[in-house]
Structure 1
C-alpha cells in the first residue's frame, strides 16, 4: 500500500485512479504526515458496506432479543408514540 501526500495525489490523480480501479491498489493520502483518507478499489468499499450492514442487522437482532416479546404491540406503539 502506497502513501502519498494530498499534493502528490492531486498531481497524479488520473494515474492513482487507474491503479485503484484496474490494478486494485490501495493508496493512503496524508496531510502534514498524518493519514487522512484512502483511495481504494470499489470492490473494497462494497465489501466494507456489506460488513457494516451485517453488523447493523446483528445489533438490531440483539436489541430485539434483549427487549423480549412480552409487551403487546399496542402498548409498544403507545410507549413509542406511534400511530396515535
Structure 2
C-alpha cells in the first residue's frame, strides 16, 4: 500500500485511478503528515458496505431480542443512532 500526499495524488490522479481500479492497489492520502483518506478498489468499498450492513442487522436483532416485544420503527432507529 502506497502513501502519497494530496498534492502528489492530485498530480497523478489518472494513474492512481487506474492503479486502484485495474491493479486493485490501495493508496493512502496524507495532508500535513496525517492520513486523511484512501483510494481503494470498488470491490473493497462494496465489501466494507456489506460488512456495515451485517453489523447493522446484528445490532437490530440484539435490540429486538432485548426488548422482547415489538419495537416501533422510530424507537429502533433512535436506539441504533440512525437519525430521524
User: Which has more radius of gyration?
Assistant: 1
TM-score range, shorter chain: 0.7 to 0.9
- Structure 2 unaligned residues grouped into runs of 5+: 76-84
Unaligned runs of 5+ in 1: none
SS at match of 2:25: coil
Separation in structure 2 between the aligned mates of residue 32 and residue 59 of structure 1, nearest angstrom: 37
Give the root-mean-square deviation of aligned CA atoms: 1.4
SS of aligned partner of 1:24: coil
The residue aligned with 2:47 is 47
Deviation string, structure 1 residues 28-81 (Cα, Å, up to 9, x no partner): 000011000000000000000000000000000000000002xxx6xx66xx6x
TM-score under structure 1 length normalisation: 0.82
Q: TM-score of the superposition, structure 2-length normalised?
A: 0.82
- Aligned positions, number: 73
